[in-house]
Structures are given as C-alpha cells and as structure tokens.
Amino acid sequence: MADADVDATASAHALELRRVVKSFGPVVALRSGSLTLDRGSIHALIGENGAGKSTLVKVIAGLYRRDSGDFLLEGEPVDFTSTAQSKAAGIAVIYQEPTLFPDLSVTENIFMGRQPTNRIGRIDRRAMRDEATQIFTRLGVALDPERITEGLSIADQQIIEIAKAISLDAKVLIMDEPTAALSGVEVERLFAVARSLRDEGRALLFISHRFDEVFALCDTVTVMRDGSYVDTTPIAETSVDELVRQMVGRDVTDLFPKLPSEVGEVVLEVDGITRAGVFRDITFTLRAGEIVGLAGLVGAGRSEVARAIFGVDPYESGSVRLHGRPLPKGSPRAATARGLALVPEDRRKQGLVLDESVSRNVTLAIRQKLAKWGLLWGGAENRAAQEWASRLEVKTAALDAETGTLSGGNQQKVVLGKWLATEPTVLIVDEPTRGIDVGTKAEVHRLLSELAQQGLAILMISSELPEVLGMADRVLVMREGRLTGEFARTDATPEAVMFAATADAEAAK
C-alpha cells in the first residue's frame, strides 16, 4: 500500500507542479497547472478537451518548457529542456500511439540502445530475453518477447512501453488516455499492471475521461478546467456527479448565440453503416436547418463515421442517402458534387496544404468549377479566395501567404471557406473550434448558426460539452463505435451526455 510516512520533510512528493503557466502566442494552453503525485499512488487527472491536461503532461515530459511556475521532482526543482532529460530523471509517458519499431522484436524494442552486453560488447540475448520475461511476469502479462511488434494491438504496444519504463526504473509513469482503444479484457489487464506498479512504490498518473475506470483504478483525482487546476480529492470522498460539476463548471446556456432556425426536410440518411473494429450500426438522419451535435470521447469512432460518410474511409455494410439518392461509397468527389462537405478533424494534416497559399487552399475543392474551358488563371482563384476570405474575416497578410503562417483560428476559417465554397447543403464539421482562440471560436459558432438558418444541415462533431450543448438542436452520443444516446436540446444535460459517452447503460442504473 502507499507509504504512510506523514513527515512532510522526510518524504517529498514524487512529483509536484505548482501554478505552471504555458502559452503559445495568444493561445494560453495552461493558465495555472498544479499537480501533486505521491509514490505508491494511482492519481487520476480529468478535464474536458482544452482543459490543459495534455499540455501539463508535455511540460512534465520535457516536450514543452514551462513559462513560469514550480516543478519539483522528489522535492528538488527541475527544469527540463528535452525529453531525454525527463527520461533520465525517471519520468515515463505512455502515449495513446506508442512509437515502436515494427520490424523488431518486443525484447529489442524494450532494450534498443541499451541492450545488455558481455565483456566484448556482444549483445547477451538470453539475458535480454530473461529480463523481458521477468518484467512481463511481474506485470502479469503473457507476451511473447521474441515476436515482432508489427501487428500488435495498441494494448500490447502500451504494455511494451510500460515494460520499457520499468526497465529504465521509471519512478513516475504517466498514462495518457491509455484505454481509448482497448477492449474490456485489455483494460482489466492494464489495470492489473498499473496496480502492481503502484505496489512497487511508483507514482502513476492516469489521464482519462472514463469515470468508471477512474473510480475502479485510482485513489486520488485532480480536476482541471479551462487551463487551470480546480481541485484534488481522494476518490473515496467524491462522486461522478461532483466531478462532472467541477469539470463542466460554468453556466453553459448563454455562451453561444444559437439562432433559431426552421427545421426542414430530411437531407441525409445514414442507415446501419458498419466498419469492423471501428463502428457498428450507425443510423441517424439530418434535416435541413438543424445542427446535430455528435458527442463522445476521443476514440469513440465519430471522426471515422464522418470520414466514411464523406468517402475518405471505407465502410462495409449499410447505406447513405443524400437528398434521397444513394451516395456512392469511397468517393469524396461524388460527395462534394452532390452537396456534402467535410471539415476534417486535423486541419493541419487533413484540412490544409500548409505550404500553399490561402488562395490555393480556399479554391482547392472548387478548382474544376472555377476553370473556364478547363483552364485556370490566377484571376478566378483570387476572386473566389477574396470573396470567401472576406466573408469569414480571415486575417492574413495577403492572399498568397502560406496558410502555415496563419494562426489556428484563421487556418480553420480557411478550411471552412474552402468547403463553403463548394456550396454544400450538408456540412459535417469535426472539432470545428479545437485549438483556436475564444474570439474566433465565437465567430465560428455564429457562422454555423447562420448557415443553419439559411437551410444547411450541419453535423457537428465535438468533444467539448459546452459547445455541443450550446449549439445543437439534437445531440447524438457515441461510445466505442456505437450510438449510445440521442437527446433533444431540452433533454441534453451535461450529465446525461457524459453518461452516455462514458458508462454502460446498465452500469449507470
């Protein structure tokens, strides 16, 4: 069990952060981050998207350097300028997407660069394999140390990352949303591993949205909201209700100017689409003039559903009808031509060509429409870019500035402009305001509201509860690839949505 030493001077906390601040230009990612981790404890860190958890972790990991605030390790102040330094200090981070060498064996992945050698420098494979086996036994896991890591499930890859951390004798292990891609059995296994690590006296930080897991595994919980620390309580002394209240905090109803709009006929019908291992039996409809929010946790499969409808990803069964006509699978071009547009989740990797100008980006999806006799002169593109950039009030030095130089908010506006230029009747936006400043956020919400008023049907995927609750006429909720809830605006409370997103329906009763 946890070390019961009460003498404050004798047992420093394993890790302590106090009022840490981190900004990126105008975006304040971390307003006031605080955290106290003790040895022999599994500590939960919860908060919504944008609460600052990820930034806090990256500061601890040495990826970012904090602007101000205290950072102590075992009572000693530290200041990491690289991840190598934090690793050397005994901090290990297990990310959702582990970086391993797919062509090499599990054992080699654990020990690469530090393989045990004998006197002449020859790698001692048996010692390596034995140590790996020992670690896995200690963790209570059955993994063949000799198989190559390619094709291993995320769960197994995480175990390998943990094994790496153990072989480096990490004193602090941070697990960032580790269960997002895991099945029930794999989650149980991960928990058993975490408990054994805790019993060895290490400090664990468990970041998660899933309350059932937090309550099952952790002994303490810290809540963050809007980039700031809110509170820390022992798990035994709090409840889901209380935590949700702390996470959500403010009054959500009058933040976003959702204008009333007339809801018209059905324009999009999604019927039972399924993609093995990703999403199952997704069925819903969208009407002109309404904004439907699609809520859920990271990894629930919402973006995958959107991409499948739009045609970037495949799906195996089910159908999609747009304006009553079947929409062919796998062709974004057909979808666009028929009036469907998708503003993707990752604007830098999927939404924009960062090295190209604003003008080119805005006109990329309508380039064929702009061409006269198949030819494009700069003129038509610039005119279209001028129109859309000014409509959305994009701030840029010039139309031929590279979009990579714009701020996040303006980049998002360019992506929106690009897709609005295709004159869609159905618009899917995936995390439309992620990582952009408050002012631009409000502009985007106002824009979406106006579009709905003008008759567009909008599906808004968002992990930010206030945004979903404020903007949507209806809220759909997904969890682990399935639709688990549908709420009308009046019935959609933060708690109800959260429950549908995190808990089994049975467990909630």
Nearer to other proteins, 141 or 465 (CB): 141
Q: How far is the CB of 291 from other proteins (least distance, A)?
A: 17
Nearer to other proteins, 402 or 486 (CB): 402
Sheet with 317-322, edge to edge strand ranges: 279-287, 266-275, 317-322, 325-326
Give dist(CA 373, CA 12) in Å, integer. 74
454 binds other proteins (CB under 8 A): yes
The residue within the footprint of other proteins, chosen from 228, 396, 412, 462 (CB under 8 A), is 396
Give dist(CA 313, CA 296) in Å, integer. 20
407 binds other proteins (CB under 8 A): yes
Nearer to other proteins, 100 or 268 (CB): 100
Site for other proteins in 319-378 (CB under 8 A): 332-333, 335-336, 342, 344, 346, 348-356, 360, 364-365, 367-368, 370-371, 374-377
The residue within the footprint of other proteins, chosen from 276, 488, 505, 507 (CB under 8 A), is 276
389 binds other proteins (CB under 8 A): yes
The residue within the footprint of other proteins, chosen from 84, 216, 438, 505 (CB under 8 A), is 84
Site for other proteins in 251-270 (CB under 8 A): 257
67 binds other proteins (CB under 8 A): no
The residue within the footprint of other proteins, chosen from 391, 425, 495, 503 (CB under 8 A), is 391
Amino acid identity of 380? A
Q: How many residues bind other proteins (CB under 8 A)?
A: 109
Nearer to other proteins, 41 or 303 (CB): 303
Site for other proteins in 181-210 (CB under 8 A): 183, 185-186, 188-189, 192, 195-196
Alpha-carbon dihedral angle through residues 494, 499, 502, 506, given to the nearest 10 degrees: 180
Beta-carbon contacts of 263 under 8 Å, excluding residues fewer than 6 positions away, are: 287, 288, 289, 290, 473
Site for other proteins in 460-499 (CB under 8 A): none
Phi, psi torsion values for 389, nearest 5 degrees: -65, -40
List the one residue out of 288, 280, 325 whose CA is nearest residue 457.
288
The residue within the footprint of other proteins, chosen from 133, 285, 386, 425 (CB under 8 A), is 386
Site for other proteins in 216-245 (CB under 8 A): none
Q: How far is the CB of 277 from other proteins (least distance, A)?
A: 6
Judging by beta carbons within 10 Å of its beta carbon (0-12, 13-18, 19+), is residue 61 exposed, middle or buried?
Answer: buried
> Are β-strands 15-24 and 68-73 bridged in parallel, bridged antiparallel, or unpaired?
antiparallel
Strands (E), 323-371: 325-326, 340-343
Is 489:291 a contact under the CB 8 Å cutoff? no
Nearer to other proteins, 419 or 487 (CB): 419
The residue within the footprint of other proteins, chosen from 5, 26, 70, 326 (CB under 8 A), is 26
The three-state secondary structure class of 401 is coil
The residue within the footprint of other proteins, chosen from 32, 55, 220, 222 (CB under 8 A), is 55
Q: How far is the CB of 399 from other proteins (least distance, A)?
A: 5
435 binds other proteins (CB under 8 A): yes
Site for other proteins in 117-176 (CB under 8 A): 117, 121-123, 137, 140-142, 144, 146, 150-153, 155-156
Give dist(CA 111, CA 128) in Å, integer. 8
401 binds other proteins (CB under 8 A): yes
Q: Which stretch binds other proteins (CB under 8 A): 46-54, 287-295, 321-329, 499-507?
A: 46-54
Strands (E), 394-446: 426-430
Nearer to other proteins, 48 or 290 (CB): 48
Q: Which stretch binds other proteins (CB under 8 A): 68-76, 237-245, 279-287, 400-408?
A: 400-408
Beta-carbon contacts of 482 under 8 Å, excluding residues fewer than 6 positions away, are: 279, 280, 281, 282, 301
Q: How far is the CB of 491 from other proteins (least distance, A)?
A: 28
Nearer to other proteins, 140 or 234 (CB): 140
Nearer to other proteins, 57 or 474 (CB): 57
DSSP state of 375: B
450 binds other proteins (CB under 8 A): yes
Give dist(CA 206, CA 221) in Å, integer. 9
List the one residue out of 351, 349, 276 whose CA is nearest residue 310.
351
Give dist(CA 135, CA 118) in Å, integer. 21
Give dist(CA 342, CA 497) in Å, integer. 24
Nearer to other proteins, 71 or 111 (CB): 111
Q: How far is the CB of 11 from other proteins (least distance, A)?
A: 25
Beta-carbon contacts of 241 under 8 Å, excluding residues fewer than 6 positions away, are: 495
The residue within the footprint of other proteins, chosen from 17, 29, 92, 270 (CB under 8 A), is 29
Return the residue matching tokens 């099945």.
183
Site for other proteins in 409-428 (CB under 8 A): 418
Give dist(CA 342, CA 217) in Å, integer. 38
Judging by beta carbons within 10 Å of its beta carbon (0-12, 13-18, 19+), is residue 77 exposed, middle or buried?
Answer: exposed
Q: Which stretch binds other proteins (CB under 8 A): 9-17, 79-87, 240-248, 467-475?
A: 79-87
